[in-house]
Amino acid sequence: MKIFLKEKPRTFIVVDTSYSLIIRHPNPTYKHHEHVHRHDAHHYHSSKELRNGQLNNNKVIVEFIRTELISITGFTDITPNKVRNNKLLMGFIGFLNVKGNIHLGFITRSTKVASPRLGETVHMINDVDFYCLNNDQFDSWMNRNEEDLALTNEELELSSIGYPAGSVKKLLSLGNFYFSKEFDVTTTLQERGFAANRSNVATDRSYSERFCWNAYMVSDFLDLRERLSIYEREQFDRAGFLTVITRGYTKSVNVTLTDDLDALLTLVSKQSCSKNGPLFGEWGCDDRGNVSNYLESEVIIYTELFCFSYIIVRGNIPSFWELQNRFSKKNIIYSKKSKKIVFTRSFEASQHAFNLHFDTLGQHFGDIHIVNCLLQDEHSYKGQLNQNFKEHLQSLIRSREAGLDQAEDLELGQDAYARDGPASIPLNNYRLTITDLPISTAYMKRIGYNGSNPLDVVLPLTNAMLDFGAMFFDLKRLSYIGRQLGVFRVNSFDCLTKANFISKIISQEVIDLALRDMGIERTHDLHVRHSQLWAENDDMLKKLAVNFLSNTSKIQSSSSSNSKNSLKQQMTRKYLNVVGEVKPSEIAMLKLLGRLQDQDGVRLYNPFHQYVGRELKKRASEYSYRKDIRIFASTFNVNGTVSSDPTLKEWLFSSEDKVNQDYDLVCVGFEEIVELTPGKMINVKSDNLVKWEQQIKSLLDKHGIGKDRYLPLWSWQMGGLAIMLFIKETQIGNITNLEGSVKKTGLGGMSANKGGIAISFNYSNTLICFVCSHLAAGLNNVDERHQNYKAIAKGIRFSKHKKIRDHDAVIWMGDFNYRIALQIEQVKALIERKNYQKLFEYDQLNKQMADGETFPFYGEMEITFAPTYKFDNNSNVYDTSEKQRIPAWTDRVLSMSKGKILRQELYNSADKVLFSDHRPVYAIFNASVIMVNEVAKKAISSDIYDNYRRVVGDINVLITANNVDRFVDDISDNFMPPPSSDTSKWWLDGGILAKVNIKELQEDWSDGGNQKFINPKHPVNPFISTLEPEFITKLELTNRIMN
């Protein structure tokens, strides 16, 4: 990467091998220095020009273009030199607007500190450089090292005035900011997944953006990136034209797991910067539920066999509170009595933010277990905060709990928080549990950061660890063995030392449980290195807290802890909230986050891309068309078995249904694909998943009607639930944006036995979703199944906030477990007579859908097959066990689509497949998808670009033109539309008249006599029958008036 500058008109070009960025401000400022002779003579500006200059002050023109199309004649190479400056351009971090000066930020020096997995590296930022886009006053500061600054009298004078970006440069160079060239460092490994085509910018930033410390600098730049074509976006990312950064602690170390298995152990801690108000210190939350001291820590173990990941979060209590020091000359000596918790808003106002905080966590992580380390003494200020927290928690339970009657009877007294029985709160979309662990500082010092875990901390949390699981990916089979389905949220007063200590214990115990379940012996080396990482993490975060101590709620910086052996830092933390002043470091942080009062964001314009994009939409019919594809979707509860029975052919290619066409897509959902073992955190044996995937692929390839082969596109497993997606080999190029999501609804040690898995992808320009779910069992558990459906429908989320309902076509299948509300004798009699229509009247799901409760807007084809549950294994006889379960259509396939995209051909069960107690149920659909001819689209884009170029010039006009205001003109900048009237409306294109044009009255009658008018005798009421014509000629109207 290189950067070039043209002094007038002031333009920057960031050049990579294939593509480049042209960056220009429409109205730069040129200063006249006696040692610089590069500017034209000063000239006066008209009032219009001055007005345009003010309007355009935060506007920036950015174009992403092939390097070969750019002429850099007249440009100077200002790229920092490795030899001369000991710097290199490593990544662009965005636009910093300070006091009207817009600076381009680049990482220029870094150190590699971590490698979470093969092909991923994390670098610590050691230095950054800023280049002012719209003012040449600061050009002498370009590429200067810190030690070189302010050496001359001229620079000393400039330093006294203040280099606007200098404080941010210093802040970012402190050694606690991180970036990666290969992936988005704001995301976790479970979010990124293991797809080959990973991007260094996450597509879904709804949650992870809170960890992006240059979000203000890149917000508009992200939108620009989204407007690029897929190929351009890949080139954009590869060049490092947009780099996101985080703050906190990151490090990898080598460890030995077994004699022949080494691993990389990585700890990543990311501080949140999303809260309005102080980010650190003894403060509460903001209106959106963001809290001070919020931190996400992820532990990653990477070996040649598997990859493990686990996430823990921490943060202050999410209500409106702050700590006040009742300071006076008489009580300057520290005393607990001199501190007081003040709740700055009403309980009701705090409750809304409290709920938002946990809803956000629940939507992102699933279930939540709170580890509450606050003191229980109600007479202390920490005890008062704890009491406030529990009152808010109780209110959350009562407002969100599904069973209102249960909520009224629930009291959260001391017994409910006992260590041996944590309170459990079932909510609509996530489950919330809590355990109190009010450990003391003396206890932490006694235990320390060593390889042993105290049982009195571990035992109360074990059930939640087993319930949540961990992300475990088999690198040999390229399949998930387990996924983390919940998160621990650790509460302490300042969320530093105590929260870090508890997080280390949880992390180590989860690692031990996971390795135990995988049959891998834990080593002392792993425990020691793991403890060292967490100890270093604690030291770093405390150092950051002290250096960014926040003394007032009106600013955005930090407070917190101390270094272990420093009396000075201990005294600082105790007294600085009283006597401290706002520090320059806090101002620097505010600048970086874009939160100074006079600080505006930049508005980016890429006129060539924007114009081409608008015109392409108008000509979409020239490069897109509809095509029918054939989809096979099926659900099968296999009762923990794998079979190669020859009858499986009848499942995929039914001779009874005379299936004689190939499928373009095949999606199969499995329930009970393995038998789950209570007490294990990693319950999943991936053998069954792999075997079933191989079996289905073999059947598709062997018995397919045509000669096309099938590829396994995606497979995913959560406990006993699994989903597989296959595609015809010739169709693979039509699939983009493939991603998955899970939602667990089962509880207890068998937590992963119920829930939902979903796959989302684009088939060319049509967004499709497959869902497989296993709902609660039991004849009378209709409401619980309804709650399961709601939890999955709301809890399944994809990138960019997409939910299941946001897709163009959805096929939802699974063992829904809905039963038939009749006695067993009545059901069997109706089955014997094949009177399925009568039987269906008593089907629980049918009634739920008819009432608009479960699966609203979904459709199901008429059922013409016998109930698919429950059979004796290897027979056609319904259950003869002692339980004598009533036969039912538990296994279903439903669908929903926009504009009737899906048309279902077939709905049946494979009644010859006998090895399970269920029968597979399948459906065949035709889907009308929108296809895009990329060759034609590219040709039309070139044609549009050529036409545009003929009017305004080629891309180099952005470099050479003195006036580029036309590229950044906004309607709102120049005029306000006139108010609406009876005849015109400003929101109609061009202010056209807002009146109805009647054809008969618009006709041209040159002779005048035959001109038509509305008949005044025609009734106003259109429903009154009449012989009067609606329109009459001018002659007829005249005669009527005369008569």
Tell me what the pLDDT averaged over the chain comes to: 84
Position 422 confidence tier, pLDDT thresholds 50, 70, 90: very low
Q: Is the peptide bond before 99 cis (omega within 30 degrees of 0)?
A: no
Q: What's the rounded Cα separation, in Å, for the pair 97 and 59?
A: 10
In this predicted structure, the answer to whether residue 44 has a pLDDT above a threshold of 50 is no
pLDDT reading at 407 higher than 70: no
Tell me what percent of the chain is helix, strand and coil, each rounded to the nearest 5: 35, 25, 40
Q: Is residue 312 part of a domain?
A: yes
Same domain (yes/no): 205, 338: no
User: Is a pLDDT exceeding 80 seen at residue 666?
Assistant: yes
Question: What pLDDT score does 212 carry?
Answer: 95
- Torsion angle (degrees, nearest 10) of CA 38, 40, 45, 51: -30
| 368 within domain boundaries | yes
Contact 535, 600 (CB under 8 A): no
| pLDDT score for 957 | 83
Helix (H, G, I), strand (E, B) or coil at 661: coil
Check pLDDT > 90 for residue 180: yes
pLDDT of residue 58: 86
Work out how many domains the chain is built from and give that number: 5
Residues 178 and 113 sit within 8 Å (Cβ to Cβ): yes
Q: Which of 775-779, 944-948, 950-954, 961-965 has the highest mean pLDDT?
A: 775-779
What was the pLDDT predicted at 555? 43
Q: Give residue 568's pLDDT.
A: 44
The predicted model gives 931-942 an average pLDDT of: 89
Report which of residues 678 and 98 the model is more confident about: 98
On whether residue 842 sits in a domain, the answer given is: no
Q: Is residue 553 part of a domain?
A: no
Q: Is the dihedral of CA 642, 643, 647, 652 positive or negative?
A: positive
Residue 21 placed within a domain: yes
Q: How many CA atoms lie within 13 A of 395 on its CB side?
A: 17
Share of the chain above pLDDT 90, in %: 52
Band of pLDDT at residue 197, cut at 50, 70 and 90: low
Q: What is residue 991's predicted lDDT score, i.e. its pLDDT?
A: 52
CA distance 594 to 587: 10
Task: Find the domain containing 786 and state its range.
Answer: 624-819+888-932
Q: What whole-number distance in Å separates Cα of residue 109 and Cα of residue 860?
A: 60
Nearest Cα to 466, choosing from 419, 504, 502, 433?
Answer: 433
Looking at per-residue pLDDT, the higher value among 528 and 379 belongs to 528
Higher pLDDT: 162 or 48? It is 162
User: Are 229 and 364 contained in the same domain?
Assistant: no
Residue 834 lies in a domain: no
Whether residue 218 is found in the same domain as residue 357 = no
| Over residues 669-694, mean pLDDT | 79
CB half-sphere exposure, 133, CA atoms < 13 A = 29
Q: What is the DSSP letter of 977?
A: P
Q: Which two tokens stand for residue 311?
A: 């996430």
815 or 523, higher pLDDT: 815
CA 219 to chain CA centroid, nearest Å: 15
What sign does the CA torsion over 932, 933, 935, 937 have? negative
| 173 lies in the same domain as 260 | no
Q: How far apart are CA 906 and CA 422, in angstroms?
A: 49
pLDDT confidence band for 566 (50 / 70 / 90): very low
Per-residue pLDDT tens over the stretch 351-368 = 999 999 999 998 889 889
563 within a domain of the structure (yes/no)? no
The verdict on 292 and 390 lying in the same domain is yes
Instruction: Say if residue 267 is exposed, middle or buried (CB neighbours under 10 Å; 0-12, 13-18, 19+).
Output: buried
Rg of the Cα trace of the chain?
Answer: 34
**This prediction's pTM:** 0.80
Q: Which residue has the tokens 């992820």?
A: 298
Q: Kindly report, residue by residue over 495-510, the tens digit of the pLDDT.
A: 999 999 999 999 999 9
Of the listed ranges 291-305, 664-678, 808-822, 968-982, the one predicted with least confidence: 968-982
Strand partners, 12: 5, 23
Identify whether residues 221 and 268 lie together within a single domain: no
Q: Region 100-111: what's the mean pLDDT? A: 95
State the virtual CA torsion across 849, 854, 856, 862 in degrees, nearest 10: -40
Residue scoring higher pLDDT (1 or 37) = 1
* 206 plus 219 within the same structural domain: yes
Question: What ranges make up the beta strands (E) of 970-1018?
Answer: 1012-1014
> What pLDDT is attached to residue 606?
87
Residues 695 and 725 in one domain: yes
Determine the longest span between alpha carbons in the chain, in angstroms: 115
Pair of tokens at residue 401: 């709990």
Identify the domain boundary among 218, 244, 270: 244
Q: Which residues pair with 627 in a beta bridge?
A: 929
Domain endpoint, select from 547, 582, 611: 547
pLDDT of residue 430: 82
**pLDDT (tens digit per residue) in 433-465:** 999 999 999 999 999 998 889 999 999 999 999
Averaged pLDDT, 176-195:
89
CATH number of the domain encompassing residue 782 = 3.60.10.10
- Are residues 315 and 223 located together in one domain of the fold? no
Cβ density class 195-229: b for 16+ within 10 Å, e for less? eeebbbbbebbebbbbbbbbbbbbbbbbebbeebb
Beta partners for 342? 322
Instruction: Identify whether residues 191 and 271 lie together within a single domain.
Output: no
With a cut of 60, say whether residue 419 has pLDDT above it: no
* Same-domain pairing of 360 and 230: no
Picking from 495, 515, 547, the residue at the C-terminal end of a domain is 547
Structure tokens at 522: 């834990």
Q: Above 60 in pLDDT, residue 28?
A: yes
**Residues 295 and 246: beta-carbon distance below 8 Å:** no
Q: Could you give the CA distance from residue 493 to residue 774 in angstroms, rounded to a whole number?
A: 41
Residue 51: which pLDDT band, with cuts at 50, 70 and 90?
A: very low
Phi and psi angles of residue 908, each rounded to the nearest 5 degrees, phi first: -160, 175
Neighbours of 494 (CB within 10 A): 21
Describe the strand order of the beta sheet including 735-744 as a list of residue ranges.
735-744, 755-763, 766-774, 809-815, 891-897
- Look at residues 852, 848, 844, 847 and name the one whose alpha carbon lies nearest to residue 827: 844
Number of helices and strands in the chain (H, E): 28, 35
Candidate ranges 139-148, 575-584, 752-761, 838-847; pick with highest mean pLDDT: 838-847
Q: From CA 922, how far away is CA 904, in angstroms rounded?
A: 11
Question: Binning pLDDT at 50, 70 and 90, where does residue 409 land?
Answer: very low
Residue 262 has a pLDDT of 92
Find out whether 557 and 278 touch, Cβ atoms under 8 Å: yes
- The answer for residues whose C-beta is within 8 angstroms of residue 148's C-beta and 6 or more apart is none
- Tens digit of each residue's pLDDT (9 = 90 or more) over 203-220: 556 678 899 999 999 988
Least confident range of 299-313, 341-355, 401-415, 492-506: 401-415
117 close to 109: Cβ distance less than 8 angstroms: no
Which of 84-98, 160-174, 389-403 ranks highest by mean pLDDT?
84-98
Please tell me the predicted confidence (pLDDT) of residue 1024.
86
- pLDDT tens per residue, range 519-561: 888 888 999 999 999 999 999 999 888 777 555 554 443 333 3
Q: Does a structural domain hold residue 80? A: yes
Residue 741: alpha-carbon gap to chain centroid: 11
> What does the DSSP assignment read for 754-783?
SEEEEEEEEETTEEEEEEEEE---STT-HH
Calculate mean pLDDT across residues 766-780. 95
- Nearest-angstrom CA–CA distance, 1005 and 1002: 9
Q: In this structure, are 19 and 86 located in the same domain?
A: yes
